[in-house]
């Protein structure tokens, strides 16, 4: 994976690789600098109390939620419901497809 692939964008779903929440999915709600991002999932990590995470400790998924991205760009905020919806949609579409691929 080269540098350009590993740069997360606002609204992108990521998998946490290190720490207490390892293996869980979250959405990037803000870039702090080139090393740190703020993550929230709308459930345990609400928008109001995001988790600051090192980009080396997250795995960037190939999925950007248009609802979350547009909401953050337009108003600077996003509801916890939209964050939960984005992660659920990602898990149902992408993760389910990956599991189907493993069976064949």
* End-to-end CA, the chain: 26
pLDDT, tens only, 52-104: 999 999 999 999 999 999 999 999 999 999 999 999 999 998 766 766 666 55
Provide the token pair at 86: 């984005």
Cα–Cα distance, 87 to 89 (Å, whole number): 5
Both tokens of 71, joined, read: 């909401």
Three-state secondary-structure class, residue 4: helix
pTM of the model: 0.87
pLDDT recorded at residue 94: 78
What tokens does 61 get? 């998924």
CATH number at residue 29: 2.30.30.30
Structural domain containing residue 58: 3-103
Indicate the number of domains in the chain. 1
């Amino acid at each position: 994976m080269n540098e350009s692939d590993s740069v997360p964008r606002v609204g992108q779903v990521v998998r946490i690789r290190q720490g207490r929440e390892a293996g869980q999915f979250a959405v990037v709600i803000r870039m702090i600098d080139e090393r740190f991002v703020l993550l929230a999932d709308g459930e345990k990590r609400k928008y109001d109390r995001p988790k600051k995470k090192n980009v080396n400790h997250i795995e960037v998924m190939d999925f950007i939620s248009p609802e979350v991205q547009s909401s953050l760009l337009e108003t600077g905020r996003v509801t916890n419901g939209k964050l939960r919806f984005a992660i659920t949609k990602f898990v149902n579409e992408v993760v389910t497809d990956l599991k189907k691929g493993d069976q064949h």
